[in-house]
Amino acid sequence: MRSIQKCIAYLAFSLLVISLHSCKCGAVSFGCAKYEMNTAYAATPIIVGPGPEDIALDNSQGYPRLIVSCDERRSHAQPHSSFYAIDLRTRDTLRFAFDRDPSTLFPDDPGLADWHPHGIALARIDGTDYLYSVTHRGKKRGRGFRSDEILRFRIGKETLYYDTIFQDQALKTPNDIFVLSDGSFYVSNILKKYSAWQFIRGALGAKTGNIVYYHPENGWKVALPKQAYPNGILVDEATQSLYMVHGACKKVNRYPLTAPGKLSLSSKKSTPQDIVMGDNLTRDSEGYLWTTSHPCLFRFLKHGNGKKPSPSLAYRIDPQTMEANLVYQNNGKEISAASTALWYEGKLYLSQVFDNFVLEVDFTP
């Protein structure tokens, strides 16, 4: 019976591959290389909440700190969702308080009381510092969430003050967000809906994701349709360029913006190097872009169940040439499934999808 089940599974997988043979993308491989640093460095874990998937540099209080988006992604019990701050001068951490608990935003629907923060962005708009967070609610085992939204908070020293909730059908499977100075923002939808089947299709190159754009006066629109697992996004307002991590296509792409929410597809430029299942995207003070990579998809899935370490790679990208340099790598024992790379003052900070720390890496790339 077991052999029959294996044959059926193999046949189903083969049919899936055949059905996607025309896709030019695909992040699935059946081997996994060894990833090790060849230079000396020091690494320090900074303990925060479980699942610190995204980090952002905050200077709103007059000193540098990281704001960390945390969510327990392994347990189906009561979620442990929170935002933390890491003081980069001391490595001290604090868990933010809320003036209004996000679990109370839907008082008439207890099924939406849980909340799961994901990608975040910081922005100063008309002199006020805000934290924007992609948020999911109504967790369903194996089937994603009932509701997705963007929450906006005013940033205090130890407290986040609820400000606005953004909801629309355009938010299908939101992952990352980037906010512009006028309060408009871009959001990546990695798939057309949540399911294991859709994840497999996306990883194999099915272009079911997109990038959507929101303007406070004009509402929502699709800025970039039909993408294969789009993830991290970043906009350079000075050059009017949008950068997107194209996960299943193994690239970071740059698109000129011809108007708000409108990209020039014909002028796309991509990294010549492959970046497999790239994740979030940040920019340092010198203008370089940083992203992480999950090069071994099956290891990543097993790490999600807490069974195996998943390799972590970090790349620095020249925004002019789009050349990508691999500057950090490990097999997953030091940090598994690193999701965000942020460079600040000679140190690399790595967050991750599942475990409960941000890693500070001190080295010269």
Is pLDDT larger for residue 348 or for residue 201?
Answer: 348
Please list, in sequence order, all residues whose beta carbon lies within 8 angstroms of the beta carbon of residue 162, skipping any fewer than 6 positions away. Answer: 98, 99, 100, 102, 105, 151, 153
Instruction: Identify the CA nearest to 353 among candidates 302, 317, 290.
Output: 302
Lowest mean pLDDT among 45-49, 72-76, 242-246: 72-76
From residue 204, give the alpha-carbon distance in Å to each of 17, 197, 246, 261: 8, 11, 13, 28
Asked if 17 contacts 64 with a C-beta cutoff of 8 angstroms, the reply is: no
Domain assignment present for residue 12? The answer is no
Number of folded domains that form the chain: 1
Domain assignment present for residue 149? The answer is yes
Is pLDDT larger for residue 245 or for residue 18?
Answer: 245
Domain that holds residue 172: 25-362
CATH of the domain at 160: 2.120.10.30
Residue 15: pLDDT band by 50, 70, 90 thresholds? very low
Lowest mean pLDDT among 74-88, 187-201, 349-363: 74-88
The answer on pLDDT for 333 being more than 70 is yes
Residue range 50-93, pLDDT digits in tens? 999 999 999 999 999 999 999 988 765 556 799 999 999 999 99
Domain assignment present for residue 90? The answer is yes
Domain assignment present for residue 71? The answer is yes
Instruction: Report the SS3 class of residue 345.
Output: coil
**Can you tell me the mean pLDDT for 286-308?**
88
Domain assignment present for residue 18? The answer is no
Instruction: Identify the CA nearest to 237 among candidates 191, 185, 296, 298.
Output: 185
Instruction: Report the SS3 class of residue 294.
Output: coil
Asked if 343 contacts 284 with a C-beta cutoff of 8 angstroms, the reply is: yes
And the tokens for 77? Answer: 């019990």
The residues facing 256 across adjacent strands are 241
**Amino acid, single-letter form, for residue 115:** W
